[in-house]
Amino acid sequence: MPIVQVVILALIQGIAEFLPISSTAHLIVAPWLLGWSDPGLTFDVALHVGTLVAVVVYFFRTWVQIILHGFGIEWGDDEMLRQNPRLLWLLVLGTIPGGVIGFLFEKQADSTLRSPILIGAMMIALGLVMWAADRWGARKRGLGAVSFADSLVIGCAQALAIIPGVSRSGATITAGLFRNLDRVAAARFSFLLATPIIAGAAAKKFYDVLKHGGIPADMHMPFSVGILVSGLTGLAVIAFFLRYLQHRSLNFFVYYRVVFGIIVIALAIARPPAG
């Protein structure tokens, strides 16, 4: 696998996994447009591990405080987390819908749902729903006010990300805004909720790689570079996006999704993917 291809796909993963623009859509569309072959399961594992490292490193202290509070141990200085000692169990609850849907429909997500027309349509559709949520959500509540109902709704939204083009972060942030969380709280909850899902997906795919004989010798370098580049990029993007949301709306990402979706649909009609 050429190192240039490795770096480009890892950059795409690190950027698009945490911005509300769908990493899956970009990782399907980019090789199609550039004429690259499918990088395969092994490299997919590397990208998942990289973004998992990014979110765990960035939220390490947050996760420690959440876990300790979940078992009744006071620790940490994040006041929002202190206000919601049930957050660990709310995240467990929110993870269930995505885990169930991912288990049931993994094969469809890797085959029939990868149509460029569907990807383009989902990019546009969620972009418009995101615009409505950002415009009309009350944005009154922080992470300390997340409730049972919030977790269930946002968790169900995360399950929709099985469809390429939806975007895990886009769906969960949008749901959080509709539940009247402020932008930063919706994004933080989204990233925390993504952690066990990304970990589960990485573990499942790595198990599949091991069943097929492990990491091939010629993939050792791409595997390592993929983890490093996607991890570092993801770490930078999380920090950027949370700062961005403190003072700005999601309009840029809405416009991007709509334009990207229109371009993908137009290209799919003019140049259908092979096979």
- Determine, yes or no, domain membership for 64: yes
- Determine, yes or no, domain membership for 111: yes
- Determine, yes or no, domain membership for 182: yes
Token representation of residue 237: 């993007």
Instruction: Please state, in angstroms and rounded to a whole number, the distance separating the CA atoms of residues 240 and 56.
Output: 16
- Determine, yes or no, domain membership for 275: no
pLDDT digits (tens, 9 = 90+) for 112-150: 778 899 999 999 999 999 999 999 998 999 999 999 999
Rounded to 10°, the helix 60-70/87-109 angle is 120
pLDDT digits (tens, 9 = 90+) for 19-46: 999 998 999 899 888 888 878 878 888 9
Chain centroid to Cα 12, Å, comes to: 12
Q: What is the mean pLDDT of the chain?
A: 93
Length of the chain (residues): 275
- Determine, yes or no, domain membership for 28: yes
pLDDT digits (tens, 9 = 90+) for 155-199: 999 999 999 999 999 999 999 999 999 999 999 999 999 999 999
Total domains present in the chain: 1
Confidence of residue 275 (pLDDT cuts 50, 70, 90): low
Q: Which has the higher per-residue pLDDT, 128 or 207?
A: 128
Burial of 28 (0-12, 13-18, 19+ CB in 10 A): buried
Confidence of residue 273 (pLDDT cuts 50, 70, 90): low
Q: How many helices (H) and strands (E) does the chain have?
A: 12, 0
- Determine, yes or no, domain membership for 62: yes
Mean pLDDT of 100-106: 86
Q: Which has the higher per-residue pLDDT, 35 or 227?
A: 227
- Determine, yes or no, domain membership for 8: yes
Mean pLDDT of 240-265: 97
pLDDT at residue 46, as a whole number: 92
pLDDT at residue 75, as a whole number: 93
Yes or no: say if 5 and 40 are a contact pair by the CB < 8 Å rule.
no
Burial of 203 (0-12, 13-18, 19+ CB in 10 A): middle
Token representation of residue 206: 């790595």
- Determine, yes or no, domain membership for 234: yes
Confidence of residue 272 (pLDDT cuts 50, 70, 90): low
Range of the domain at 230: 3-270
